[in-house]
Amino acid sequence: MLARVHSFAIDGVETRRVTVEADVRLGLPAFNVVGLADKSVREARERVRGAIQNTGFEFPQKRITVNLAPAYLRKEGPHFDLPLAIAVLAASGQIASEALEDCAFIGELSMYGLVSPVRGSLAVAEGARRAGLRRLMLPASRAAEGALVEGIEALGVESLAHAVAVLRDEAPPIASAPVAEREAVDDPVDLADVRGHDGLIGVIEIAAAGGHNLFMHGPPGTGKTMLARRLPTLLPPLTREEAVEVTRIHSIAGLHTGGGLIAERPFRAPHHLVSPSALVGGGATPKPGEITLAHRGVLFLDELSEFNRNTLEALRQPLEDGRVVVVRAQRVLTFPTRAMLVAASNPCPCGLGDPGCRCSAAERSRHERRLSGPLLDRIDLTVHVPRPSAAALRGQGSPSSAAIRERVVAARARQTARLAGTQATCNAHMTPAMLRELAAVTASARRALFERHDAEGLTARGHHRVLRVARTVADLDGSARVGSEHIHTALAVRSDMSPTAVAA
């Protein structure tokens, strides 16, 4: 007999439909899986055999061939266990084929027949909806995640026996536990904790309002990391579309527990020994890197000068294009990388900077060469973080995150209205064509920028980045047009003037 079951393969951060076709016929007993399956899928034969026999069903002592179509698509992971078992049972007449219509299956099986959690349940549910399927059978612990997709009935099951009973209408599926649509976040950090850096708050606000990349440098212990970790508290909340996108990526990476949608914007801070493929994605089996896990959030690179230069150079194209393309012999995968880059570095190896630096000229030169000009040209805001004085530390703290966030949300609302109908979501994502058409730059502002262009040593890319930052400054001021004063502020934060001058 023949049976057909629907499932999905995870391909990068997307899913592709896979048809599991089982053929059970007379012949020498054998169980073969074909269709470009990796080792974990081929090993599923033993898990499926043990699960079927130990659950009380009959494993056919015939020639069993299972084809995973399409044959050109590589299938990876243990989530094909459940669809393989269901296909074998249907092909052997133990389940009616009609019960499999409009239903997709994912789940890992134990030898006892229990259905274990798998990665990417939300992505599979979205794929099932796009494929026109109405139901998705998945592990009970991931039913709440699958139920987040409208139009899909998530059938949570605890075991293979339970799955068969649900298909035979002999038992109900496990109802997804009621969860908040978005996971609650208990984040105690607040910008009000920062003391002695009042002049820097304006730069942090500009970065958050426009989604701009930020580079902070200064002696160790001055608060660079503290400021970076509080930047996400200034960002506007995720829209539902963004929350689904972020949750799908984290689910595929195995970082989501199966509850509601992720509510807060991601904050990723990889160690400086991270490899290029771990940072931007790739590997023998391509997986999303740290910049993709930070999509719609913040990627924080602390001790930037300690990162391997080749690792940092790998960021250049993802920062510019908002995506990274990983090419393998038979696969081309695209990972989204729309994250704010926030970096921090010491001025020299000893960290003291001028005055008092104990580093030799060669050591300082080697330290500076770690950061290439093309990478720094992709950073919109550069600011020096000085040592706060004792009087400043005793003074009043910075404004609260909530107070700054109100201004940031208002500025983002202006950007959303302006950029409606485009793929850009904030000023940092505007293309040169969008800048010409939508930025509303006054003649005096353009004249001021061109007058300073050569003096500041701006590249064409830097020229456009100054315009983007100026547009953000104008949005924070509530101005419909970009004036010369906004250009001067944008140039100040790009050319690393003192934060006091910027704040003024």
CATH of the domain at 24: 3.30.230.10
The answer to whether position 261 is within a domain reads yes
* Same-domain pairing of 224 and 147: no
In this prediction, residue 498 carries a pLDDT of 41
With 0-12 CB in 10 A as exposed, 13-18 as middle and 19+ as buried, what is 503?
middle
The pTM for the full model equals 0.91
In this prediction, residue 497 carries a pLDDT of 46
In this prediction, residue 212 carries a pLDDT of 97
* Same-domain pairing of 125 and 266: no
The answer to whether position 199 is within a domain reads yes
The answer to whether position 177 is within a domain reads no
In this prediction, residue 34 carries a pLDDT of 95
C-alpha 347/C-alpha 215 separation (Å) is: 12
* Same-domain pairing of 234 and 146: no
Range of the domain at 267: 191-503
Domain tally, the chain: 2
C-alpha 318/C-alpha 291 separation (Å) is: 8
Supply 243's token pair.
Answer: 């929350």
Cβ partners under 8 Å of residue 464, min gap 6: 432, 435
Nearest to 404 by CA among 216, 194, 242, 224: 194
In this prediction, residue 445 carries a pLDDT of 96
C-alpha 72/C-alpha 6 separation (Å) is: 17
User: Which domain CATH number covers 484?
Assistant: 3.40.50.300
In this prediction, residue 179 carries a pLDDT of 54
Q: Confirm if 294 and 266 have CB atoms less than 8 A apart.
A: yes
* Same-domain pairing of 204 and 79: no
**Average pLDDT, consecutive stretches of 10 residues, N- to C-terminus, the chain (504 residues):** 94 94 95 93 94 96 96 92 97 95 96 95 96 96 92 96 96 74 62 88 96 94 93 94 95 85 93 95 88 97 92 94 87 93 90 76 81 90 90 82 96 96 94 95 95 89 95 97 96 67 41
Nearest to 299 by CA among 338, 263, 347, 273: 338
In this prediction, residue 499 carries a pLDDT of 39
The answer to whether position 53 is within a domain reads yes
Supply 100's token pair.
Answer: 């499999």
* Same-domain pairing of 138 and 253: no
Cβ partners under 8 Å of residue 43, min gap 6: none
In this prediction, residue 303 carries a pLDDT of 92
The answer to whether position 80 is within a domain reads yes
Q: Which helix (H) or strand (E) holds 503?
A: helix 499-503
The answer to whether position 184 is within a domain reads no
For 351, what's the count of Cα atoms within 13 Å in the CB-facing half-sphere? 11
**Which residues is 292 bridged to in the sheet?**
none
In this prediction, residue 350 carries a pLDDT of 81
- pLDDT digit string, tens, across residues 120-174: 999 999 999 999 999 999 999 999 999 999 999 999 999 999 999 999 999 999 9
